[in-house]
Amino acid sequence: MAASNGLAGNDAVPRMTPAARNRAFDTAASKRWLGSMTGILLLASLWEIAPRAGWLSRDFFPPLSVVLGRLSVLVTTEEFWGFVASTIRTCVLGLAIAAIAGVLIGLAIGLTPGARKYTHSTIEFLRPIPSVALIPGVILLFGARYQSGVVLITYAAFWQVLLQMLYGLNDIDSVARDTARTFRFSRFGYVRHVAWPTLLPYLFTGLRLAAAMALVLAVTAEMVIGSQGVGRGIVVAQASNATAEAYAYVLVAGLMGVAINLAARLLERRLLQWHPSVRNTGGAR
């Protein structure tokens, strides 16, 4: 009787159908979107009200409507799109080089017996060095060209990718590792069938962190070194006392950061649909 009651109790528990599960995920995503939009609207309202109410000087902090008006003029100019294209080029090149180097060196260190022991101290010494400390050196090598920003981005992003690769290699299931050894997998077969599925989520985490860092460093290099890009637009506008234009370029840099983050997450969802971390969240992370 007890068993019967137990079975009846289990049968009485409602099971969520795939359609209901999708609706629940959509509802949760909508709530997150509404929450994000509410925060943006509050910030935009404060930006508009504070200068007009006299809380902040309009000479140094113009209202959002003035900044957007100036931005609407800038987007019609060739110089503006040249700045944006230069910043994107610097970010993409730096990220691509860092990703390739991080993956290859990470695999080499992680899969070579004893390599971590002998490289640990070197990594821990070089990793904390800030990229901006390299600015004098890259100026001497490349001058005020976009290559200077590429070097800074590559150096900073490389460590993000490398460390995530090493973390991922540490997380490989021991049973899968022993099975591959038993079946005498080649090194390439081991990487492809055993290591790579475990590494991909870690790799995308490193790329997301590196992408945000890349934009910061690209704009910083353009401001300090003077290479073409959004950062240079900010400096030129500030030097010309065009405050609204300077804030317009700052706003563009922020929008570029949002776009980079969304693109990275979309790519991650597309390539990791099979991974539990994506499936269990309905593809919305």
CATH number of the domain where residue 139 is located: 1.10.3720.10
Asked if residue 215 is part of any domain, the answer here is: yes
What pLDDT shows up at residue 263?
86
Rounded distance, CA 35 to CA 42, Å?
11
Asked if residue 264 is part of any domain, the answer here is: no
- Reported residue count of the chain is 285
Has residue 4 got a pLDDT over 50?
A: no
What pLDDT shows up at residue 151?
93
pLDDT band with cut points at 50, 70 and 90 for residue 27: low
Asked if residue 52 is part of any domain, the answer here is: no
Domain that holds residue 149: 79-242
Has residue 32 got a pLDDT over 70?
A: no
Asked if residue 90 is part of any domain, the answer here is: yes
Q: What is the number of structural domains in the chain?
A: 1
Asked if residue 272 is part of any domain, the answer here is: no
Task: Average the pLDDT over 99-127 and give the result.
Answer: 89
**To the nearest whole number, what is the mean pLDDT of the chain?**
83
What is the pTM for the complete model shown? 0.78
What pLDDT shows up at residue 34?
66
pLDDT band with cut points at 50, 70 and 90 for residue 84: very high
Asked if residue 14 is part of any domain, the answer here is: no
Has residue 8 got a pLDDT over 50?
A: no
Rounded distance, CA 82 to CA 209, Å?
26
Has residue 13 got a pLDDT over 70?
A: no
What pLDDT shows up at residue 193?
80
Percent of the chain scored above 90 by pLDDT? 36
Rounded distance, CA 11 to CA 28, Å?
27
Asked if residue 219 is part of any domain, the answer here is: yes
User: To which residue do tokens 């970010």 refer?
Assistant: 91
Rounded distance, CA 170 to CA 179, Å?
16
Asked if residue 94 is part of any domain, the answer here is: yes
